[in-house]
Amino acid sequence: MGHTLKIVHGSTEIDLSAGDFRIRTYSPKPKSANRDTVVEGIGVFIESATVAALQASLRSIENAFYLAKQRRIKRLGDRVYLTFLEDGGSVTYRSEIYASKETDMPGMVNVDTKWLRSVVWDDQMILASIAVERRPYWEASTETELALSNGSQAAATGGCTIYNPHTTAVFSGSTVSFDNATSRILDSGNGFGIFSVGDVISIRGSIEGSPSVSASVSPSASVSPSASVSPSVSPSGSVSPSVSSSISPSASVSLSVSVSVSPSVSPSVSPSVSSSVSVSESVSASPST
């Protein structure tokens, strides 16, 4: 069967041991003490049905090296791997194709000049030597998901819900509203994020329009004013009430007193006076202790 050697990026696989390719020589090398990467040589024989297919095979390898370089510089795109399954083995290992310097190409394809003679090229056959630079280690090509946990979820695979109680957002739409009847802030579009039961949310800002606000206050002081009214009557029947009040604790009281009097006067009799007094008061108190 022989070794299986591939260049893989994303869903693209270039099998250097099947199809148009046949491995001539390859032996994985260990890491050198003074280098952070490993440079290896791969000898392959390429035979295609047409010259165009032969050129496409060469170009696919060179394009993979270019993508590896772009990944090294920009940190974008798929990683490019060299995968290896030894003859008789059951586990496929991989090593990222990676240049020690981001300005360098991590691989190169060299074709023996004698294979470029027209008689051989027209037969759609070439012998190529591939130089590749890779990471200094091999890893299993099948990824294993790690279990995650947080304060509200035990360790498990399949994802972990992360709540975001500390978030800042500016809203200009209509999904956030204030309900005057219940004094609640409503978020119909879940724009604030995902929260867990027990999270405390502080909201600052203003509400557009003219919302009505109602409030009830339970004061911590009570005032019990006492007032006495002593009307004095002159013979003409006019009444000038005098009002005295005492308030405890200290308070400022404004009293509005209306008095209606229906005197019954006889010249020889001391007048009798009947009066009705209504007192309305507004109290602003700052009790002192």
CA triple 91-8-10, angle to 5 deg: 110
Name the pLDDT band for 1 (thresholds 50, 70, 90).
low
Name the pLDDT band for 96 (thresholds 50, 70, 90).
very high
Residue 6 has pLDDT above 90, yes or no: yes
Considering the four listed CATH numbers 2.40.170, 2.40.160, 2.40.30, 1.10.287, the one that applies to the domain covering 4-140 is: 2.40.30
Q: Which of 3-17, 23-37, 198-212, 254-268 has the lowest mean pLDDT?
A: 254-268
- What confidence tens digit (pLDDT) does each residue in 170-228 have? 555 556 677 788 877 777 766 666 666 666 666 666 655 544 433 333 444 444 455 45
pLDDT computed for residue 186 by the predictor? 74
Better-predicted residue by pLDDT, 277 or 173: 173
- CA–CA dist 246, 227 (Å, integer): 7
Residue 85 has pLDDT above 80, yes or no: yes
Q: What is the mean pLDDT of residues 123-142?
A: 91
Domain with CATH 2.40.30 in the chain: 4-140
- CA–CA dist 231, 275 (Å, integer): 8
pLDDT computed for residue 145 by the predictor? 92
Residue 270 has pLDDT above 70, yes or no: no
Q: What is the mean pLDDT of residues 8-24?
A: 94
Cα distances (angstroms) measured from residue 116 to each of 112, 122, 234: 7, 9, 140
- What confidence tens digit (pLDDT) does each residue in 134-147 have? 999 999 988 889 99
Q: What is the mean pLDDT of residues 80-104?
A: 92
- Note the pTM of the prediction, 2 decimals: 0.55
Closest residue by Cα to residue 201 from 168, 173, 240, 152: 168
* Other CB atoms within 10 A of residue 258 CB: 10
126 contacts 138 by C-beta, under 8 angstroms: no
139-140 vs 153-156, strand pairing mode: unpaired
- What confidence tens digit (pLDDT) does each residue in 43-80 have? 999 999 988 898 899 999 999 999 999 999 998 999 99
